[in-house]
Amino acid sequence: MTMYAVLVVYNKPLALSSSFQSALKEPDVQLLVVDNSTDESLSNQEEARQAGAWFLSMDGNRGLSRAYNAAFDYLKTKAGDWVVLLDDDTTVPAAYWKQLRQQNPDAVLLPVVRTSEGRMISPAEMRHDIPHPAHSWDSIEHITGINSGMAIPKQVADSYRYDERLFLDFIDHQFLKDMRETGHRIRVLPADLKQDFSAERPDRATCRQRLRIQKKDLAVYYGRRSWKACFLIMKRKLRLAYQVRSLDVLWW
């Protein structure tokens, strides 16, 4: 079995990425690093080369969808079974790779992803085209999830193009929505990953920039159904107001 892991990094040294270290430990996993960084002081290309990983520079932050498309284009001529998407802040245990090796590449696989506090964030349930947390992964009717640890059959990756109007948010939900609509199966891989969300330790400037990106992406995803985008943005603002202890977030 041949597996490729795609790791998109942004302004973070590879040496500090737990998912980078995890993939390197697996001899049958070829790692492809796609660098969206704007910090020119990083030496990620040399670090990747020394580790035996492939490296693609996006020459700045071009967005996650463009990074994934660049990775899929790079891998298209190479034979393989799986393309695994990794975030730079995800802890991927060896058990994940062991279980993946036992699966046939006949469905998109979503691992169980939890926050550092143990809350399950993926898979989730899509109701009325809005993602909702699920209490148990085995009772989800309309499944969705996040990119971290998502395993995509190579033949699916070879034929898919991400919507590059989406910069960061809802790229995963759009992909899984497309999979459902085209009849591809989506299954849960019962392996736990831990996600370290930087958004759980926010500063005001980062929160404001992140909210701008989310507004644009949700406007693209929902199109004329703008009330759904507004609903989700307001939920996000309320959560941010609580996190930064300031109501002026509601007017951002």
Pairing of strands 90-91, 186-195: antiparallel
Tens-digit pLDDT profile for residues 156-183: 999 999 999 999 999 999 999 999 999 9
Q: Residue 246's pLDDT band (boundaries 50, 70, 90)?
A: confident
- Residue 197: per-residue pLDDT: 65
Q: Alpha carbon of 121 to those of 59, 92, 187, 237: distances in Å?
A: 31, 15, 16, 19
Contact criterion met (CB below 8 Å) for 74 and 32: yes
**What is the distance between the alpha carbons of residues 64 and 124, in angstroms, rounded to a whole number?**
21
- Residue 199: per-residue pLDDT: 44
First to last CA, the chain: 49
Asked: is 3-198 a CATH 3.90.550.10 domain? The reply is: yes
**What is the distance between the alpha carbons of residues 141 and 7, in angstroms, rounded to a whole number?**
29
Q: Output the six-digit token pair for 15.
A: 């040496």
Q: Where are the domains of the chain?
A: 3-198, 202-251
Mean pLDDT of 234-248: 86
Query: Is residue 113 classed as helix, strand or coil in its secondary structure?
Result: strand
Range among 87-96, 127-136, 155-164, 234-243 rated most confident: 155-164
Tens-digit pLDDT profile for residues 211-223: 999 999 999 999 9
**What is the distance between the alpha carbons of residues 207 and 194, in angstroms, rounded to a whole number?**
22
Q: At what angle do helices 171-181 and 204-222 cross, to 10 degrees?
A: 20
**What is the distance between the alpha carbons of residues 62 and 82, in angstroms, rounded to a whole number?**
25
Please give the helix or strand (H or E) that residue 34 lies within, else none: strand 29-35
Contact criterion met (CB below 8 Å) for 60 and 38: yes
Query: In the beta sheet, which residues pair with residue 33?
Result: 7, 55
What is the percentage of the chain residues whose pLDDT exceeds 90? 82
Phi first, then psi: give them for residue 3, nearest 5 degrees.
-125, 135
Phi first, then psi: give them for residue 149, nearest 5 degrees.
80, 5
- Residue 251: per-residue pLDDT: 82
Phi first, then psi: give them for residue 176, nearest 5 degrees.
-70, -30
- Residue 41: per-residue pLDDT: 87
pTM passes above 0.95: no
Query: In the beta sheet, which residues pair with residue 130?
Result: 127
CA 46 to chain centre: 24
Tens-digit pLDDT profile for residues 107-155: 999 999 999 889 999 999 999 999 999 988 888 999 999 999 999 999 9
pLDDT above 60 for 200: no
